[in-house]
């Protein structure tokens, strides 16, 4: 393989973050949520769209995948000209799109990568074809800096039930062997007064706790958390500090979540700016 192309320098000092994900027409998740997070955290956000979804707070009514070659073009267009200080992936939909993303990122010099292995929407609708799971594991996880599965996604990736904190930790160990530098198994689906997430670096765990916010308006929680981590990595924070800062930001967004729509409403990504 030829030498990777360099990433353009950043003369502004403003962190640059690229999201590679699907579009949520309802604005609560996907690239819409990611770009809101980047703006709220002082970063310059860019996007490569992998799929269009007809989606609202109730569910996903339709999905139109982007051609893999066009996904390649979008990523290359951004990285060749503007560059990035961190990259986050969300909904990748198909094996062909996963391959396109992996192939294109390999053409460029290293940029910290956060992978949110989006498999199922909050409504239960599938967002990842079955054959894409293998491509994700084989092509993207080995170059991932921080992987952010929820309990269901961790179970699918580790090939084991994940039902409590002990199995979350065991799944993190199994997933770590697939290549990511850090695996963050999120415990938002567990009960209790605290939401506890487990970050595994291949040798030891760090636990991140925050008060559980009782609200049904949780649409886009995973996207928001992962994109906030990417924004903080782009600012130069190390992985544990980026996770801690992102979790604090997410807790505020959940505390100020918006009762919009008839289902799971969105978070308020601009809660800090509203005072």
- Is 186 a catalytic site residue? yes
Question: Of residues 27, 28, 45, 220, which has the active-site annotation?
Answer: 220
Whole-number Cα distances in Å, 258 to 105, 115, 165, 264: 35, 26, 29, 9
- Is 222 a catalytic site residue? yes
Question: Of residues 222, 224, 247, 252, which has the active-site annotation?
Answer: 222
Question: Of residues 89, 221, 252, 265, which has the active-site annotation?
Answer: 221
Question: Of residues 223, 224, 247, 265, which has the active-site annotation?
Answer: 223
Question: Of residues 218, 224, 247, 252, which has the active-site annotation?
Answer: 218
- Is 188 a catalytic site residue? no
Question: Of residues 36, 122, 186, 247, which has the active-site annotation?
Answer: 186
3-state SS, the chain, equals CCCCECCCCCCCCCCEEEEEEEEECCCCCHHHHHHHHHHHCCCEEEEEEEEEEEECCCCEEEEEECCHHHHHHHHHHHHHHCCCCEEEECCCECHHHHHHHHHHHHCECCCCEEECCCCECCCCCECECHHHHHHHHHHHHHHCCEECCCHHHHHHHHCCCCCCHHHHHHHHHHHHCCCCCEEEECCCCCCCCEEEEEEECCCCEEEEEEECCCCCCCECHHHHHHHHHHHHHHCCCCHHHHHHHHHHHHHHHHHCCCCCCCCCCECCCCHHHHC
- Residues labelled catalytic: 186, 218, 220-223
């Amino acid at each position: 393989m030829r030498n990777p192309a360099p990433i353009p320098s950043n003369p502004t000092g403003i962190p640059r973050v690229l999201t590679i994900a699907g579009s949520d027409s309802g604005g609560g998740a996907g690239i819409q949520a990611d770009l809101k997070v980047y703006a709220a955290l002082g970063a310059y956000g860019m996007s490569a769209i992998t799929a269009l979804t007809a989606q609202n707070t109730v569910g996903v009514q339709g999905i139109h995948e982007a051609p893999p070659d066009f996904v390649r073009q979008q990523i290359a267009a951004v990285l060749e000209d503007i560059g990035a200080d961190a990259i986050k992936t969300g909904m990748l939909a198909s094996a062909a799109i996963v391959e396109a993303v992996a192939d294109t990122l390999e053409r460029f010099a290293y940029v910290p990568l956060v992978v949110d292995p989006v498999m199922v929407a909050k409504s239960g609708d599938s967002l990842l074809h079955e054959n894409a799971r293998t491509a994700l594991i084989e092509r993207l996880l080995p170059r991932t800096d921080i992987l952010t599965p929820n309990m269901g996604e961790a179970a699918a990736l580790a090939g084991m039930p994940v039902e409590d904190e002990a199995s979350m930790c065991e799944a993190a160990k199994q997933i770590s062997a697939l290549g990511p530098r850090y695996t963050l198994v999120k415990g938002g689906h567990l009960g209790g007064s605290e939401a506890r997430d487990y970050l595994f670096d291949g040798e030891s765990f760090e636990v991140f706790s925050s008060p559980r916010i009782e609200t049904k308006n949780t649409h886009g929680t995973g996207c928001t958390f992962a994109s906030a981590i990417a924004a903080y990595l782009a600012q130069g924070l190390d992985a544990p500090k980026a996770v801690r800062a992102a979790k604090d930001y997410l807790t505020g967004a959940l505390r100020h979540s918006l009762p919009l729509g008839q289902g799971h409403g969105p978070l308020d990504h601009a809660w800090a700016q509203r005072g």
